[in-house]
Each structure stands twice: as C-alpha cells, then as structure tokens.
Structure 1
Amino acid sequence: MKKVAIYTGTYPDTTFLTLLARGLADSGVEVHIYGKLKRKTKEDYNIKFFTYSDKNKGYNFYFILKYVFLNLFFNYKKAIWYYRHIKSEEAYSIYKKSLIILPMIYHQPDIIHLQWIQSFKIFRELDEILNAKIVVSIRGSQLSISSFLYPDAWQTTVDATNKAVKIHSISDDLSLQLLKINPLVRDKIIKINPAIDLNLFYTAEASFNRARSNPLRIITVCRLSWKKGLAYGLEALKKIHDKGLNFEYIIIGEGKQREELTFLIRDLGLTNKVKLKGRLSQTEIRKALLNSDVFLLPSVQEGFSNAVVEAQAIGLPCLVSDAEGLEENIEHEKTGFIFKNRNVPELAALLEQFTKISNKDYIILKRNGVERSKARYDIKDQIIALKNLYENIDII
C-alpha cells in the first residue's frame, strides 16, 4: 500500500478530515500526518505521526535537529538542495517550513493529499526533494472566495491544480468554479461526495414519528462568519415573529461575527427567541439536533456543509440557500427546501410553512433525509473511493 500524507497543516483539523484520516488508516492505508499536532487519541492508533508540537518550543528545536541530522546522513544531496533553496528566506519562514518539509524528505510519502488548496504554497518548487505525487482537494472558501479576490491565491490555485495528478472535488459547483480559473484541468477532476460517520448520527425509530414542536424549534450549526448568511436568517425570523408565529432558534458555533449577531438579535427584538450557544461538543450538538424541528443554513457561500448532511442523517428537514454546493446537498421538497440566496421574503415564507406543516408531511421529510444520507454520505463509501483514487496513481 502506498504511503499517503493527509496534509491539513494542523491535526486534528475539522471533524470530517479527522474522521477521514482515521478511516483511511483503519482500512489499511499507511497514513502519514505532518505539521502541527494539537493532540491525538487512541482512535489515531493506526496513523503515523511526524509532527511538531503545538506548544513545546524545546521539543520543536529537537525535532528540527533530529531531521537535519537524519537527512544529512541518509539524504545528503536532498538536504543540501533544500538548504540552498530556502537560505534566502527569512529565519522564521525557514523554521516553520522546515518543521514540515524535513520529516517529509526523510519519510518520503508516495502521495501528498492537500486538503486545503492554498497550502500548496509550502510545497511549490520542491519536486527535487519530494518525489511524491500531489492530490488536491477543492473545498469552500479557499477556492470560491480567496481565489477570486486575491491574485496570489488565484495563482496558487492555478499552480496547485497544474501540479496535481488528481483533483478531488466535493461538489459539481466547485468543479465549475475551478474550471473558470484553470480550464485545462478538467480531466483531472474526480468528484467524491463529502461524508459523515453515520454511527454518530443514528436515529431511533421513535424519533421518525415525533411531530414538530410548538413552538417550532429551529437550529443552525456553523461558524459565525459573514458567508453563512445568518443575518438574512434573522431578518426572515423577524418577519414571521411580527406575524405572531411561535418559534425558538438556537445557533451553535463561534466566530468573528458573534458581536455583530448579538447586536442584530437585540436590534430586531428577538432576544427572547434567539440564543447563541457558542461552541459545543459533538455529543451536545447531537442532543440539540434531536430536540430540534428544522435545520437552517442561509449561506451566501458554501462549498457543501457537512452540518447539513448530519442534520439530514439525524432526521431533520433542512432549509438551505442555493449557494453553490448546498443545492446538491439536499433534495428540494424531499428532504427540505432550497430558497434563493439572500431572499429574505422567500425564506420567511418557508419558515412560516414549517409552522403549519402537517405531521404526515413532516415525518415524510424526516425519513427522506435519513435515507438520503445513508445512500450518499456514508464515510465508508468515501474511504473506498479515495483508496481507489490513490491506488490508480502511478508513483514510479
């Protein structure tokens, strides 16, 4: 089996990438992790870590010295080439890059799978010492926002996708956006659906038959960022509140927009209706989802959103905007409803519809969501697809 570096920069990263690395390792792939290590658990047993410390600078100094000597002894030519290549850079840049590259030179992964496309900057022009094939994943804002706003990010996207032997896309929309930037890489793109561990979101049969609550319980799980469109959601809720319709809304997550949202909630007169819960554990999130009636995500930009997949898996109908990959995430009028991006009146009408939906129609939406998540978004299927991708890459 090939040696595959799953590179995220920091481990653990997002939940879905951590599950991916563990799943690949447990399935027999020799998974390498490079970069910064925050923590590891017994679930990471089959992963090989060549990582530096999140906090211990003394250990990091030892870590670099260790790999300097190992490479000088076993990979002398590559070590000298690397030194000549980076010696003109600033000292701190050399230090940070060497914490990642020096162990890679020594352990020589066959494939480096970059989970975030802009991280290619670290690996640019290192072909002479890293013989690995590059696989790039395209996800969310690093492609659809940064690459269009910033010339440097645009160029990194072009360089990364030119260099990659395969490009892993999580949605058709992101594939189309990439082709606007680099139309020459169409044949490299492989779409593999995002996935979740369905065991974590098992829904008991009794939950299927639970009618919606009164008041209607609405939930959002996301980072508090402008791109999530939460202000549009709050404005829509203000409209149904003014009609006297009864609801409760909780938002789980943290981010830079918290202060702005806190002010907006008060300004709209929704203080008694909307609660910002902050960051919660996976267990607490699952409990909150089980106690809710509708999942809302009014994003203005969204690569896909695993949170929406998790909501469907647990039996929650979803209200999502038509932003990019969200249109592919749910099935309109089957597992929820899709509304026009930034269209507050349309969203308000759908929220009002949910306050009046019959129990029969509501339960059908719940069941459809669970069935769709099982059929499309099981992490076991994603791992099989990625293993096939790696196995079909010629490393000679």
Structure 2
Amino acid sequence: MNQIAGMVERGHKVIIMAMGSGHDATLPEEFERFGLLEKTVYTHCTGNSLTKRLSAALTYIFSIDRWYYPSVWRTLLAMIRRRNGPGTLGWPLLSQLRAAAVLFNERPEVIHCQFGTLGPIALHLKRLGATDARLVVSFRGYDVTKYPKTHPGVYRDLFKHADLCLPVSEALGRCLEEMGCAREKWLVHHSGIDCRKWKFSGRKLERDEPVRVLTVGRLVEKKGVEYAIRAVARLLESDHDVRYTIVGDGPLRQSLEALITDLGIAHMVELAGWKSHEEVLRLLQRAHILLAPSVTASTGDQEGIPNSLKEAMALGLPVIGTTHGGIPELVEDGVSGLLVPERDVESLAEALERLTSQPELWPAMGRAGRKHVEAEFDREVLNDLLVQMYRGICY
C-alpha cells in the first residue's frame, strides 16, 4: 500500500491488478485519499455457468483496444493452449484473459509483483506476449521461507528472467541466493512506514502505573505469542505490575485463551482481537514496551521484518524481539531494544524483567529506534529509491 500510494503521490500512473477482493470490512484511508479503488482491476470472474464464462471471455477480448491485431490473437491462442502451464500456478483462464486485456490496453513500463508467488504468473503473461514490461518482484516472508517447500523449483525461471528481485531483508535475500537467484539480481528494499504519521513520544512510567506491554500480529505460529504469554506469566509470578495486551486474531486464538486461563493470568493478559490501524496506533501510543516474539513455524514460514516493530520504534517505544528473520536488521540489541533467541521463554522473561524494572532505559532506546527507522525504513525515502530502481531497469 505504501509503495502504491507513493507512486501516485509522485505523479506516476498506477494500475492495481488484484486476484481477489479480500475479506476486510475496511480499507486503508489511502484507498480513498488517492482514489485507489478506481485504479483497481479484479481478475477473478464470478459465475460458473458456461454462458456467463463465455460472455466474460468475449467481453475481455473485445475490451482490448486493438483486439483485431494478429499479435493479440497470437497471444490469446497461446494462452488457451498453455492455460495450465507451469507459470499459471492454477490461475483460471478467464483471469488470465482479464489480466492480458488490461496489459494490452495500459502498456505498463513496469510490472511490480508485491509477493514472490505472483512473479511466475506475471512472467507467464510476458512469455505469451501480453506485455513487454520490466518485471520487479518483492519477496516478503512466506513466499521465500514456506511456499518454495511445497512448490519446488517454482522460482527457477523467474530468477532467470525477472529484471529485479526485492527481498525486504538481507535474511530473505540470502535465502533467494541459496535458491538460485544471482546476487546481481536482488537488492534489499525494506517495507517502509509513514514516519509522518507515527510521531515520536518518549516513554516514561508514572508513579503507581502498571507497565503496559503490547504485541500486535495475527495469532499464528510464526508470531510466537505462546512464548510471550509464558514469559509474562513468569514475570507476574515475581509480582511485577504488568498488563499485557495482544492485538490480532487468527486460528490459535482458542488455544491461547486456554493457555492464559491455565496459567491463571486472565486478569493481567488480554486477547484484544482484531483492531483497525487507527486503533492500533492509539494502543501503541499508550504502551510502554512492544514485544515481538516471532519464531520459525513448523512449516518453515518466517517473518520478513514485522511492521509492528517499525511502528513502535518510530513512536519511541523500547522493543523486545527475537533473532528471527530480518528482525536483527531493525533492532540493535541493547541500543534500540533487546533481542533474545526464538522460543526461549526464560530469555524473554529476563528481557521483560530488565525493561519493566528499568524504565530509565526507555528514553534512550526510543530515540535510537526512531533514528534508525527514519534512516532505513521511512516510506518517503524508500519510495524515492524505488522510482530510481524503476528508471534504472527501464532506461
């Protein structure tokens, strides 16, 4: 979203091609501010009857400005013949037709796939002749650490033919290289945040105030919330005055609720459920410490660099993270926060005890974190760099 909004702000024409409409009830405010909904094309087709599908196919074909050109029909016939090819990853033929029609009409200079899993599909469309755009692919986490395990060799051709691969961390970049991506093909390009929105405010603890610890993320294995709950329980055994709030929802909610009850800490630990971005901002503004206990999931799934950490550091919170994925590229241990090994409840509890009992450490850590986020993760700086990268591969 930050990259799309940034390109629109800089005067570039942007078309968003989406494979589905998603399930969120609310859209980010940038969608309205930049008119992004009007710039979005959904490639999925509703309706299963043969009549509806044929009607949709003809609509897509005849929406192409130069549908009568031989080159267009060569592409469409090739698409029909190769509709189940390795590059389609099971993408329906109608969706391919819809995407090809958009590409024929818009003639983009750059296609930027926001996840690695979309890269082979874009490459498939290029090979069919639907576009000659430069191909840029971002890699953000699961698309590197989990997806290739269930789809061996899925990126082999992509690594050869993509113009630029953009992992969001050095850790993911090294994974790409191990899978066969040439070193000159990839550059780290962090996922940025709007530092103008996340205004710095140093943390301090008022007299008789409990220490408010916050975790933000989906309740899935790789977020490591179980270990954080167990660490907080140990802290509470030592009579520390702590309130722990966990924002997010997901498949592990029920088991985490049971764990909190079993540990007897339901009066101090809250599973707050899903919150809007604005609600998360308000909770971060009230919190004293951000806890991000990420782990490598049993499937191999890993984080890139959690946005919740960047946002908390931009606001001035000291943070606790794990030596997981790209987190050590964001958090400098002992400077902007504390780092502990994955799945290590004892080390997490010790880090929490250190920060909760020494609030005098918070201001310096907060300033260091803000400085680092502004230097390396500010979306304005990163979007300027992205424009330079686009120009570098186009001209």
Q: TM-score, normalised by structure 2?
A: 0.85
Q: Is 1:199 matched up with 2:196? A: yes
Return the alpha-carbon distance in structure 2 between the equivalents of residues 41 and 31 of structure 1.
13
Q: How has the CA–CA distance of structure 1 residues 329 and 74 changed in structure 2, closer, same or farther, with 3 Å as cutoff?
A: farther
Q: Is 1:389 matched up with 2:353? A: no
Q: Pick from 156, 180, 204: which aligns with 1:210? A: 204
Deviation (angstroms), 1:104: 1.6
Q: Pick from 269, 274, 285: which aligns with 1:274? A: 269
Structure 2 unmatched runs, 5+: 85-89, 296-301
Q: How has the CA–CA distance of structure 1 residues 274 and 54 changed in structure 2, closer, same or farther, with 3 Å as cutoff?
A: farther
Deviation (angstroms), 1:100: 2.5
Aligned 8 A contact 1:22 1:47 in 2? no
Q: How has the CA–CA distance of structure 1 residues 230 and 286 changed in structure 2, closer, same or farther, with 3 Å as cutoff?
A: same
Q: How has the CA–CA distance of structure 1 residues 164 and 48 changed in structure 2, closer, same or farther, with 3 Å as cutoff?
A: farther
Aligned 8 A contact 2:317 2:362 in 1? no
Greater strand percent: which structure?
A: 1
AA matched with 1:32 = I
Deviation (angstroms), 1:209: 5.5
Deviation (angstroms), 1:56: 7.4
Q: How has the CA–CA distance of structure 1 residues 247 and 358 changed in structure 2, closer, same or farther, with 3 Å as cutoff?
A: closer
Deviation (angstroms), 1:358: 4.0
Q: Map 1:37-186 onto structure 2 (within 5 A).
A: 41-45=31-35, 49=39, 51-52=41-42, 65-71=58-64, 73=67, 75-87=69-81, 89=83, 93-126=92-125, 127=127, 128-147=129-148, 149-150=149-150, 152=151, 154-182=152-180, 184-186=181-183
Q: How has the CA–CA distance of structure 1 residues 123 and 225 changed in structure 2, closer, same or farther, with 3 Å as cutoff?
A: same
Q: Map 1:219-298 onto structure 2 (within 5 A).
A: 219-298=214-293
SS in 1 for 2:227: helix
SS in 2 for 1:198: coil
Aligned 8 A contact 1:30 1:48 in 2? no
Deviation (angstroms), 1:292: 0.6
Q: Is 1:372 matched up with 2:372? A: yes
SS in 2 for 1:34: strand
AA matched with 1:143 = V
Return the alpha-carbon distance in structure 1 between the equivalents of residues 197 and 265 of structure 2.
33
Give CA deviations for 1:55-100 in whole Å, capped at 9, x if unaligned: 9769999775443113363544223432343357489821233332
AA matched with 2:3 = L
AA matched with 1:222 = G
Deviation (angstroms), 1:123: 2.9
Deviation (angstroms), 1:220: 0.7
AA matched with 2:104 = I
Q: Map 1:332-351 onto structure 2 (within 5 A).
A: 332-351=333-352
Q: How has the CA–CA distance of structure 1 residues 64 and 107 changed in structure 2, closer, same or farther, with 3 Å as cutoff?
A: farther
Q: For structure 1, which segment, 65-74 or 366-375, has the greater mean C-alpha deviation from structure 2 after superposition?
A: 65-74
AA matched with 2:32 = K
Aligned 8 A contact 1:136 1:161 in 2? no
Return the alpha-carbon distance in structure 2 between the equivalents of residues 256 and 249 of structure 1.
20
Deviation (angstroms), 1:142: 1.1
Aligned 8 A contact 1:117 1:160 in 2? no
Return the alpha-carbon distance in structure 2 between the equivalents of residues 46 and 371 of structure 1.
31
Deviation (angstroms), 1:387: 0.2
Aligned 8 A contact 1:120 1:160 in 2? yes
Return the alpha-carbon distance in structure 2 between the equivalents of residues 94 and 53 of structure 1.
10
Q: How has the CA–CA distance of structure 1 residues 170 and 19 changed in structure 2, closer, same or farther, with 3 Å as cutoff?
A: same
Return the alpha-carbon distance in structure 2 between the equivalents of residues 92 and 384 of structure 1.
33
Return the alpha-carbon distance in structure 2 between the equivalents of residues 296 and 275 of structure 1.
14
Q: How has the CA–CA distance of structure 1 residues 351 and 215 changed in structure 2, closer, same or farther, with 3 Å as cutoff?
A: same
AA matched with 1:388 = Q
The count of residues paired between Structure 1 and Structure 2 equals 370
Return the alpha-carbon distance in structure 2 between the equivalents of residues 330 and 271 of structure 1.
30
Q: How has the CA–CA distance of structure 1 residues 124 and 24 changed in structure 2, closer, same or farther, with 3 Å as cutoff?
A: closer
AA matched with 2:213 = I
Deviation (angstroms), 1:193: 2.4
Task: Provide the identity percentage.
Answer: 25
Aligned 8 A contact 1:30 1:47 in 2? no
Aligned 8 A contact 1:227 1:302 in 2? yes
Aligned 8 A contact 2:204 2:288 in 1? no
Aligned 8 A contact 2:100 2:130 in 1? no
Deviation (angstroms), 1:54: 8.1
Aligned 8 A contact 2:248 2:272 in 1? yes
SS in 2 for 1:129: coil
SS in 2 for 1:30: coil
Aligned 8 A contact 2:67 2:73 in 1? no
